[in-house]
Amino acid sequence: MLTDLLGFPPQVLFGQLLLGLINGAFYAVLSLGLAVIFGLLNIVNFAHGALYMLGAFATLGLTQYLGIGYWGALILAPVIVGAIGILAERVLLRRLAGIDHLYGLLLTFGMALVIEGVFVKIFGASGIPYAAPSQLQGGVNLGFMFLPWYRGWVVVASLAVCLATWYLFERTKIGAYLRAGTENPRLLQAFGVNVPLLTTLAYGYGVGLAAFAGVLAAPITQVNPMMGSNLIIVVFAVVVIGGMGSIMGAIITGMSMGVIEGLTKVFWPEASSTVIFLVMAIVLVLRPAGLFGKTA
Amino acid sequence: MKKTFGYLILLALALAAPFVVYPVLLMKLLCFALFASAFNLILGYGGLLSFGHAAFFGGAAYFTGHALKAWGLPTELGILAGTAGAGLLGLAIGLLAIRRQGIYFAMITLAMAQMAYFFFISAPFTGGENGLQGVPRGMALGMFDLSNDRTMYFFVLAICLGGFLLIARAVHSPFGQVLGAIRDNEDRARSLGYDIERYKLLAFVLSATLAGLAGATKTVVFQLASLSDAHWHMSGEVVLMTLLGGLGTIAGPAVGASIIIALQNYLASGPFAAWVPVVLGVIFVTCVLSFRRGVVGELRAFIRRSF
């Protein structure tokens, strides 16, 4: 076999490929949320990693204190965290309308510090394990590799949510409003569309996506107050690579960066934590606007 | 005339301070004041938000620590080596980052600094999680023993004053004026024939180099270079210091750094030690929402209104 010729047992290669797909799924969902938020609010949401973490903690809380299992949390956690996001948008972010975009980044950075600081104080810095739902325990042997059901589910669920978001934005009426709001919010308002409401909903949706990724991550990475803080920096690099102009671009870039990272773990393990930053540097040299970016 | 008098009073205070206040705290304050002032050069005067300045501060800390500890260089040369290293790092990151503007610039610097951070974790000379400990302070000019805290203080004061003067000079030079023009209207500055990429890069490298000078000096003071110097929290802290003190003001970053360092120092010994990140976050949010001019900016506006 080809993989044997390369000197790696297929289990290792495909195992890392699967891990890469999972990471790529998280990158895709998170950078998609960032793109949605940036489109309407012109804010780079630094709190995205903290909100992803909140999604995982909401899952933990719903299961432990309310007896709502994983499947309930999959719906409820994004709704709860999305509601928190909507509140934050109305109370805090709304007040930055019309001033330099950089302040939005700084404000959400402050929010991330507060949220993560509070959770570290309460739960400590170590992770809390969360079991995968009983239906998805175990796995199947595909011959060339062992596929744990839960990991397969994460990839499928993320892709489904990504494609649903794409459909929502590109093929529905509300998506047309959202795209119009990205292009020219004042003209859209002049046509009688409630743009402030649309903006709030977009933030809630983007935040909900982050929380959804958090729910999916809970059984994989353990629930940890700092689980989103390093991830968000990688996602920023993914966003720079892809550009924030297109939904499909964010999905494709996210997935492929995950795969590249996974393959790097096989062929050049030392570079696996920095390969995405390297790709970013190369893209900046060759195509500064990003792979799917419009010139800006 | 009035201004010169004010500066003389400040200088007298700085010279007398180590006899009243613990010199190590003062040195920390000076280093971070220089760090924030260097950062202000690129954010306040250049309008570019770098979220990666910890790489220069922490990088210089490691380079200087290694030069002093492993190579046994004299203290001054060690600090110079670290500063030059930070400048080179600044050139590499700057060349990439200036290809984009605004929020992309912030994300790129953050990502590149994170890459530097991973490098520092795994590089053989940085001591990994332990960092470089027991870096020798050595002698200044071969004759002043820096193991004495007060002697060390005057050495640090001289370095930082040099840094502040350079920054003030740069800001008020034609270069600083062009930088301000680029910040306020990039297209206009370009249409006037300025090579704005070159100006931005020069400002970025200068800012990185001086941030490195601060980090290098800090290593000599604490005899320690660690991962926290290069972590993105540090990049966030220097943004906060500058913002709190006042963007684009000469004195603001130093004031902001003093407030944050004093606050951290005060909280660290009390029951709220674990709440420091939350407190910083709350200050961040408050500053952005209702205090964007910072302490010095508000003060200046108040004086203008009143007199």
Q: Which residues pair with A147 in a beta bridge?
A: A140
Distance from CA of B306 to the nearest CA of A (A): 27
Is residue B247 in a domain?
no
Q: Is residue B304 part of a domain?
A: no
| Residue-level pLDDT at A139 | 83
How many Cα atoms occupy the beta-carbon half-sphere of A258 within 13 Å?
Answer: 24
Query: From first to last of its 296 residues, what are the pLDDT tens digits of chain A?
Result: 454 546 677 778 888 889 899 999 999 999 999 998 988 888 899 999 999 999 999 999 999 898 888 999 999 999 999 999 999 999 999 888 888 888 999 999 999 999 999 999 999 888 888 988 888 888 888 877 888 899 999 999 999 999 999 999 889 988 888 888 888 888 998 998 898 998 999 999 999 999 999 999 999 988 999 999 989 999 999 999 988 878 888 899 999 999 999 999 888 888 888 999 999 999 988 988 888 876 54
Residue B253 within any structural domain of the chain: no
Among chain A residues, CA nearest to B292: A103
**Assigned domain for B287 exists:** no
**Residue B237 resides in a domain:** no
Q: Residue B43: give the domain boundaries.
A: 23-230
Q: Does the global pTM surpass 0.90?
A: yes
A87 interface with B at CB cutoff 8 Å = no
d(CA A259, CA A155): 12
Nearest to A227 by CA among A244, A242, A215, A238: A215
B134 located within any domain: yes
Query: Which residue in A102, A112, A278 is closest to B103 by CB distance?
Result: A102
Cross-chain CB nearest to A277 (options B51, B115, B292) = B115
Q: Cα-flanking dihedrals φ and ψ of residue A9, to 5°?
A: -60, 140
Is B189 a domain residue?
A: yes
The two beta strands, A146-148 and B224-225, are unpaired
- Contact flag B277-A285 (C-beta cutoff 8 Å): no
- Tell me the HSE value of B34 on the side-chain side, using a 13 A CA sphere: 31
Spatial distance between the Cα atoms of A113 and B195, rounded to a whole number of angstroms:
38
Contacts of A114 in chain B (CB under 8 A): 277-278, 281-282, 285
Q: Which residue in the set B51, B122, B278 is minimally distant from A114, CB to CB? A: B278
Q: Count how many pairs of residues, chain A against chain B, have C-beta atoms within 8 Å.
A: 111
ipTM attached to this prediction: 0.90
SS3 at position B139: strand
A146, β-bridge pairs: A141
Of B115, B239, B284, the CB nearest to A274: B115
Q: What integer pLDDT is reported at residue A97 of this predicted model? A: 81
Taking an 8 Å cut-off on Cβ atoms, the answer to whether B285 and A284 are in contact is no
Long-range contacts formed by B298-305: CB under 8 A, 24+ apart: B298/B246, B300/B246, B300/B249
In a domain, B202, yes or no: yes
Cross-chain Cβ contact A121/B283 below 8 Å: no
SS3 of residue A263 by DSSP = helix
The answer to whether B39 touches B207, Cβ cutoff 8 Å, is yes
Does the beta-carbon distance from B284 to A106 stay under 8 Å? yes
Contact A54, A73 (CB under 8 A): no
> Best of A38, A103, A105, A113 to disrupt the B interface by mutation (most B CBs within 10 Å)?
A113
d(CA B65, CA B58): 10
- Under-70 pLDDT residues of chain B: 1
In angstroms, rounded to a whole number, what is the distance separating the alpha carbons of residues B254 and B28?
12
pLDDT of the residue at B152: 94
Residues of chain B with Cβ-Cβ distance to A95 below 8 Å are 289
Output helix, strand, coil percentages for chain A, rounded to the nearest 5: 75, 5, 20
Which chain A residues contact residue B285 at CB under 8 A?
92, 107, 110-111, 114
- The residue of chain A nearest to residue B236, with distances taken between CA atoms, is A109
Q: How many domains does chain B have?
A: 1
Q: Does A123 touch chain B (CB under 8 A)?
A: no
Q: Do B49 and A105 touch (CB under 8 A)?
A: yes
Give me the residue spans of the domains in chain A: 22-113+123-225
Mutation for A interface: B49, B51, B107, most A CBs within 10 A: B107
Report CB contact under 8 Å: A92, B282. no
Q: Does A268 touch chain B if contact means CB atoms closer than 8 Å?
A: no
**Could you tell me if B126 and B135 are in contact, meaning their C-beta atoms sit under 8 angstroms apart?**
no
